Amino acid sequence: MVTASDTLLAYEEQIFARYTASLAALIAEETGARPTDVEPVVVAHSLIGLHRSLVGYVRRGTLAGTPNTILARQLRAQARRAVNRLDHGLADYGSMTTRQATR
């Protein structure tokens, strides 16, 4: 239903923007960052981006008729890979070695 409604998609965007701003403020407070520091905002966007990507993955799988047990297993694998990428950084992402190792 959400993906079929421009209004609901716009509202979802607003919700994610609020979540991202709130998370960035909390991260800044917890880490003692200055109000002008970009790092807490980048971290918040990364974490909310991970969440949004996984929500999108589930939506696409659901719309494609993927059985829930299979979708849950695939989602866990996708989440592990994505968290691992965030944990280890982006410096080698897309290199031939990285692409071969993830297949």
Structure pTM?
A: 0.79
Q: Which residues, other chains included, contact 38 with Cβ-Cβ below 8 Å and sequence gap of 6+?
A: none
Each domain of the chain, given as residue ranges in start order, spans: 6-101
Q: Which residues, other chains included, contact 37 with Cβ-Cβ below 8 Å and sequence gap of 6+?
A: 28
Q: What is the pLDDT along the chain (103 residues), one digit of tens a residue?
A: 777 788 898 998 999 999 999 999 999 999 999 978 999 999 999 999 999 999 999 999 999 999 999 999 999 999 999 999 999 888 888 886 655 565 5
Coil/strand/helix, residue 14: helix
pLDDT at residue 90 in the model: 84
pLDDT at residue 97 in the model: 61
